Amino acid sequence: MPKISTRGQEMPESPIRKLAPLAQQAKERGIHVYHLNIGQPDLPTPQAALDAIRNIDRTVLEYSPSQGYLSYRKKLVKYYEKYHISLSPDDIIITSGGSEAVLFAFMSCLNPGDEIIVPEPAYANYMAFAISAGAVIRTISTTIEEGFSLPKVEKFEELINERTRAILICNPNNPTGYLYTHREMNQIRDLVKKYDLYLFSDEVYREFIYTGSPYISACHLEGIENNVVLIDSVSKRYSECGIRIGALITKNAEVRKAVMKFCQARLSPPLIGQIAAEASLDAPEEYSREVYDEYVERRKCLIDGLNRIPGVYSPIPMGAFYTVAKLPVDDAEKFCAWCLTEFNYEGATVMMAPASGFYTTPGSGKNEVRIAYVLKKEDLNQAILVLRKALEAYPGRVVE
């Protein structure tokens, strides 16, 4: 039998989805599973988007332009103006989700063997996209004890060598919910400028910032305009994960020219998705405010509940809708699997993402989980109760 490729063998499993078969089996046994493992918002998609899909008046669902519809890109320019990001429609390329934007950024800017510095824990699919592009992720560690703040610049410079081509950040961060400070963003800017690196900045959670500190986009950083490649998506902003609409944004004309070759090869971004995404930009301010207020309440509910469980610790996330929590267990992945296969409390259990899958450093995150607060507060409270009972019953509990 022919062998699969080295790339296929090295491609990591998703820590978010790898336990899905166990969850399905639990459901088949009649167990209710509280899904805290995946960032799938349960809040409604804007009515304007749903109406736009229902009212499509076309006789042909044709290819869209490879860079996306001009009308949508023009409306996005106005959207970004609200965040003091000045763009032209030509700076914006519409992609099939934020995922394709990351992949095309890597394929366009990096050669096989080139290295990207990424603070860990990090969104696990970055590693998958790097493998697809033949690039190498070099991680710089952050810790739960220090709230996942960035280490000093010297730690970055220890990793920089002749193969280093880029720094990648997610701000606000998935999986930690960390929000980079003005000082940290300037630190990154100075490194990018000093070593002439690309800065890939995933900013899909900009709507969800829970602090009075200002939102600092990579596009706000002066002096590195041609180094920045911004990654965006409507998935979380409008609860539209399924329409697969993202964007790659850069002032660098050469990068855009290269990205467009990949866009042309995949033909076009989703037609119906763009119709929905463009309509979503007309959603009233009330929609965004209600969604934001709901996540503020959920964050308080979850973090307060977690930190009341003996042996559990979660820092307060300042953005996105995730947190990484430390659990008093021998192995979080074993614990998460055990919750789905051997435990239930009054007919219910919890599904979480083992945090080790968000690290590349061996042994890191072994007793941590990522939790997404995408359930209504009543369900979050029940999930916290179930988690407490699971930790009390787990054979591998660690008593400090």
Q: How remote is the C-alpha of 341 from its chain's centroid?
A: 28
Share of the chain above pLDDT 70, in %: 100
- CA 384 to each of CA 279, 332, 348, 377: distance values in angstroms, whole numbers, following the listed order: 37, 16, 11, 10
- CATH number of 234's domain: 3.40.640.10
* Residue after which a domain boundary falls, among 280, 311, 345: 280
Tokens in use for 289? 């405010």
Q: For 42-80, what is each residue's pLDDT tens digit?
A: 899 999 999 999 999 999 999 999 999 999 999 999 999
Q: Domain ends where: 230, 252, 280?
A: 280
Q: Mean of the per-residue pLDDT values for the chain?
A: 96
Domain co-membership, 65 together with 194: yes
Q: Is residue 325 part of a domain?
A: yes
Q: Residue 140 belongs to what H/E stretch? A: strand 136-141
- pLDDT value at 14 more than 90: no
SS3 45: coil
- Predicted confidence band at 22 (pLDDT cuts at 50, 70, 90)? very high
The burial class, CB within 10 Å (0-12 / 13-18 / 19+), for 362 is exposed
Tens-digit pLDDT profile for residues 278-322? 999 999 999 999 999 999 999 999 999 999 999 999 999 999 999
Q: Identify the band that residue 7 occupies on the pLDDT scale cut at 50, 70 and 90.
A: confident
- As for how many domains the chain has, the answer is 2
Residues 85 and 122 in one domain: yes
275 within a domain of the structure (yes/no): yes
Task: Let me know if residue 52 belongs to a domain.
Answer: no
SS3 readout for 266-324: CCCCCHHHHHHHHHHCCCCHHHHHHHHHHHHHHHHHHHHHHHCCCCCECCCCCECCEEE
Residue 61 is predicted with a pLDDT of: 96
**Residue 182: pLDDT above 90?**
yes
- 276: in domain: yes
**How many CB atoms sit inside 10 A of residue 4's CB?**
9
Q: Examine the domain organization and report whether 274 and 363 are in the same domain.
A: no
- CB neighbours (10 Å) of residue 335? 24
User: Which of 257, 280, 303 is the last residue before a domain boundary?
Assistant: 280
Instruction: Give the whole-angstrom CA distance, residue 391 versus residue 400.
Output: 14
Mean pLDDT of 354-375: 95
Same domain, 270 and 292: no
Instruction: Please state the rounded mean pLDDT for residues 372-389.
Output: 97
pLDDT recorded at residue 18:
81
What's 329's domain CATH number?
A: 3.90.1150.10
The answer to whether position 227 is within a domain reads yes
Backbone angles phi, psi at 77, to 5 degrees: -55, -45
Domain that holds residue 25: 6-44+286-393
Pair 355, 324: CB distance under 8 Å: yes
> What whole-number distance in Å separates Cα of residue 7 and Cα of residue 289?
43
244 and 377 share one domain: no
Q: Which amino acid, residue 343?
A: F
Average pLDDT for 189-213: 96
Are residues 76 and 176 located together in one domain of the fold?
Answer: yes
3-state secondary structure of 400: coil
Give yes or no: residues 205 and 340 share one domain: no
Beta strands in 327-378 (DSSP E): 348-351, 353-354, 368-372
* Structural Rg of the chain based on CA atoms: 21
346 and 360 part of one domain = yes
pLDDT band with cut points at 50, 70 and 90 for residue 40: confident
User: Residue 80 falls within a domain, yes or no?
Assistant: yes
* Number of alpha carbons in the 13 Å side-chain half-sphere of residue 12: 19
pLDDT at 213: 82
Tokens 């992720």 sit on residue: 137
Would you say residue 400 lies in a domain? no
Claim to verify: residue 193 and residue 313 sit in the same structural domain: no
CA distances from 303 to 11, 56, 265, 297 (A): 33, 42, 45, 10
Verify that 227 and 300 share a domain, yes or no: no
Which helix (H) or strand (E) is 387 found in, with range?
helix 377-393
Residue 399 within a domain: no
Same domain flag for 68 and 173: yes
Q: How confident is the model at residue 400, as a pLDDT?
A: 66
Residue spans of beta strands (DSSP E) within 23-114: 32-35, 92-95
Asked if 268 and 292 sit in the same domain, the reply is no
